[in-house]
Amino acid sequence: MRIIIAFAAAIAFGVSPQLTFAQPSPAKAPAKVQKKAPAAATPAVEEPDEATKEFEKFRAQMEDSNPAELFEMKGEELWKQKRGPKNVALAESCDLGQGVGVVKGAYVGTPRYFADADAVMDAERRIVWCMVEKQGFKFDDIAKNPFHRENDPGAPDITNLVTYVAAHSKDMKIAVPLDHPRVHDAYETGKEIVNYRAGPYDFSCNTCHGSDGKRIRMQNLPNISTGKGAIKGVQGWPGYRMTGGVMLTHQWRMNDCFRQQRFPSPKYASDVVSDLLTYMIGNANGQIYRGPGIKR
């Protein structure tokens, strides 16, 4: 109930959730993105606008009763239960990089290289891998509907699990092991993807996120190539999105930005997404992760 009241308050404050996710119509889209904005339109110092300030204020109030906790609790149950065709618990079989069953610090320590899978994996991809390899679930079943959609009665298991794991890295330092050669390769590939321009508008991630002070409508677009910007792209994920009341993961965020870019959707839990996350989270190394959050 508090959430609904707070949400109503946000609307009253003038934070318009509809605007937030409204897509620019294709014909107008390039004009909305300030590729080479004149200095006047691109403030050097990021001044949060009124709506952003109001949203931040009300998010601070909501943080004591963050709805993400509900998903985290479900995730804890799922982590500890014996499940799947092999009737095994993740808690007794899944190594997220900190030892079998250990969740503490796992989220801030990924993406990392996992020798048993011979791949660099972000937390979500690794949990999917464990569900398939250890519990015997079918990858295609998980990938069919991997993200929480509006009007779904609950979030998918994988989202609950990611939220549970992420919560156990709250207030810890981001520590992607970039000195590992395979992680380093993933980082370099991620950097290339971020620069890769294609699609109907010839956008790359960097068109929108490669310099400071850019915004589309009400959204500040973090410059993910800097530590300061990258942490903004990491903080609050997984996050409870008030528009639609859904719990969304970092993988979802990457997918949705491919959509913003008018690229085809990447395959769920694929290298492309892990590489991107290695680049972005790696750039935020050394900064403190604040745990699952709230997004408007």
Residues whose CB is less than 8 angstroms from the CB of residue 6 and which lie 6 or more positions away in sequence, other chains included: 58, 61, 62
CB of 7 to ligand HEC, least distance (A): 16
User: CA 225, 284, 119, 107 torsion: positive or negative?
Assistant: negative
User: Is residue 254 part of the contact set for ligand HEC (CB under 6 A)?
Assistant: yes
Among 173, 180, 184, 232, binds ligand HEC (CB under 6 A): 232
Question: Which of 94, 130, 205, 257 does the annotation list as catalytic?
Answer: 257
- 257: annotated active-site residue: yes
User: Is residue 143 part of the contact set for ligand HEC (CB under 6 A)?
Assistant: no
Among 205, 246, 284, 294, binds ligand HEC (CB under 6 A): 205
User: Is residue 225 part of the contact set for ligand HEC (CB under 6 A)?
Assistant: no
Among 16, 20, 81, 93, binds ligand HEC (CB under 6 A): 20
Residues whose CB is less than 8 angstroms from the CB of residue 103 and which lie 6 or more positions away in sequence, other chains included: 79, 96, 164, 165, 168
| Residue nearer to ligand HEC on the CB measure, 148 or 253 | 253
User: Is residue 233 part of the contact set for ligand HEC (CB under 6 A)?
Assistant: yes
Q: Residue 189, SS3?
A: helix
Please give the Cα distance from 285 to 234 (Å, whole number): 10
| Tokens at 253, concatenated | 């965020």
What string of DSSP letters covers 72-118?
HHHHHHHHHSEETTTTEEGGGT-B-SSSBT--TTTTTT-SEEETTTT
| Residue nearer to ligand HEC on the CB measure, 160 or 278 | 278
Cα(first)–Cα(last) distance of the chain, in Å? 17
Asked whether the beta carbons of 139 and 129 are under 8 A apart, the reply is: no
User: Is residue 107 part of the contact set for ligand HEC (CB under 6 A)?
Assistant: no
Q: Which residues in 33-72 contact ligand HEC (CB under 6 A)? A: 33
CB of 146 to ligand HEC, least distance (A): 17
DSSP state, 151?
T
User: Is residue 93 part of the contact set for ligand HEC (CB under 6 A)?
Assistant: no
| Chain residues in the site for ligand HEC (CB under 6 A) | 20-21, 33, 203, 205, 207-209, 216, 219, 221-222, 224, 232-233, 236, 253-254, 257-258, 260-261, 276
Q: Which residues have a catalytic role annotated?
A: 257
